Chain A
Amino acid sequence: DQQVKQNSPSLSVQEGRISILNCDYTNSMFDYFLWYKKYPAEGPTFLISISSIKDKNEDGRFTVFLNKSAKHLSLHIVPSQPGDSAVYFCAASAVVSAGGTSYGKLTFGQGTILTVHP
């Protein structure tokens, strides 16, 4: 049962254009959403996040949109640059309790490979 899905395994975009990466989720308990960027043989790097009380968060070329009714999250990169080529993971957080403690557990999507062509 995959609670966070990135249905596009790959996306190819021309330099300067917009890249739109999509993510769908099923668990209505998720209250915090994140995007990570990952290069091969490296760990994911945090890009941008959004709380469930917002519908948009912007940081430079990166904007994340949240549609709670549709349970849909998207990352817009404008303008796209060749250096943006990487795997992008969305992740969703829900508070879980175990062993007397609680924490925000992250559930990751499968990732989307973004290629930006010069």
Chain B
Amino acid sequence: DGGITQSPKYLFRKEGQNVTLSCEQNLNHDAMYWYRQDPGQGLRLIYYSQIVNDFQKGDIAEGYSVSREKKESFPLTVTSAQKNPTAFYLCASSLRQGPQPQHFGDGTRLSIL
């Protein structure tokens, strides 16, 4: 079955450590996205990538970094510069052309101890 896999589902890290969240898709989608969800809020865009080896900042990119070396993979690193990293992180993908729904993974909940 095609889909988006995020791992791990829960992640705990000490303050000051960088942490990388994994996102893999086998939908053959060109575009991939990272969102952050906080309680009572909608999803906010962190980074997006339309093609391999290219990515752009979203609305809340500070303290985060990404890479897109393969079409299937779009890992997100939460750096120690991110002031409030505890949140639910969602990865999504979509076909590049035209207005298309984005399809989401099941998310990673990151907690900073």
Taking beta carbons and an 8 Å cutoff, which residues of A are in contact with B?
4, 9, 31-32, 34, 36, 41-46, 49, 51, 89, 93, 98-99, 101, 103-111
Contacts and interface: CB of A to CB of B under 8 A. Distances in A.
B105 A111 contact: no
DSSP class of A's interface residues: helix, strand, loop or mixed?
Answer: strand
Interface string B1-43: 0001010010000000000000000000001000000001111
B56 A43 contact: no
A103 B111 CA distance: 31
Given A42-B106, A43-B107, A45-B104, A98 B42 contact: no
Nearest to A44: B104
B96 to A, nearest CB: 7
Contacts, number: 63
Nearest to A52: B99
Given A31-B99, A49-B101, A110 B40 contact: yes
Given A42-B107, A105-B45, 11 more contacts: A4-B42, A41-B107, A42-B106, A45-B104, A46-B102, A49-B99, A89-B43, A98-B56, A98-B57, A101-B50, A101-B56
Given A4-B42, A41-B109, A93-B99, A99 B54 contact: yes
Contacts of B105: 43
B107 A103 contact: no
A10 to B, nearest CB: 11
A89 to B, nearest CB: 6
